[in-house]
């Protein structure tokens, strides 16, 4: 009777998204706006292309930016990232989840002036 309240299979999270959202730790960083299709194409070709993106301070660019959310476990053996497009503090869309290694994650943090992960 209340079948319309059930989440449809088409809207269900993919397995990688479920796994990432179950991880205990997250970190968020912001990047300047880029067309969603262009960003997705870059990340599909090479996830290291995230290093070419321009970091932005949330307070300097509030009307349109990408928030990259990193999900990881205690020992950083699994790290996933997802880009979410925000316009006027409202989430508009997001990219698929991407699995990255600790070295790339450390380089991204270093780009933001944060302490990199000791992975060696």
CB 97 within 8 A of CB 42: no
Q: What is the pTM of this model?
A: 0.79
Tally Cβ neighbours within 10 Å of residue 69: 17
| pLDDT beyond 90 at 80 | yes
E strand or H helix at 87? strand 79-87
Residue 90 CA: distances (Å) to CA of 35, 40, 65, 66: 17, 20, 10, 11
Report residue 119 as tokens.
């992975």
pLDDT at position 89, please?
A: 86
| pLDDT beyond 50 at 8 | no
Residue 86 CA: distances (Å) to CA of 31, 34, 45, 90: 11, 12, 24, 5
Of the two residues 19 and 80, the one the predictor is more confident about is: 80
| pLDDT beyond 50 at 9 | no
> Looking at residue 38, what DSSP letter applies?
H
Residue 85 to residue 37: CA distance in whole angstroms: 12
- Average pLDDT over the chain, rounded to whole? 83
Mean pLDDT of 35-53: 91
């Amino acid at each position: 009777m209340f079948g319309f309240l059930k989440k449809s299979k088409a809207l269900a999270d993919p397995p990688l998204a479920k796994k990432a959202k179950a991880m205990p730790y997250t970190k968020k960083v912001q990047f300047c706006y880029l067309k969603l299709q262009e960003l997705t194409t870059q990340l599909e070709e090479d996830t290291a292309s995230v290093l070419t993106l321009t970091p932005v301070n949330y307070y300097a660019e509030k009307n349109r930016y990408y928030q990259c959310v990193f999900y990881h476990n205690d020992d950083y053996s699994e790290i996933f990232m997802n880009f979410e497009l925000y316009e006027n503090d409202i989430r508009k869309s997001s990219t698929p989840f991407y699995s990255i290694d600790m070295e790339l994650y450390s380089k991204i943090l270093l780009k933001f002036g944060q302490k990199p992960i000791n992975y060696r």
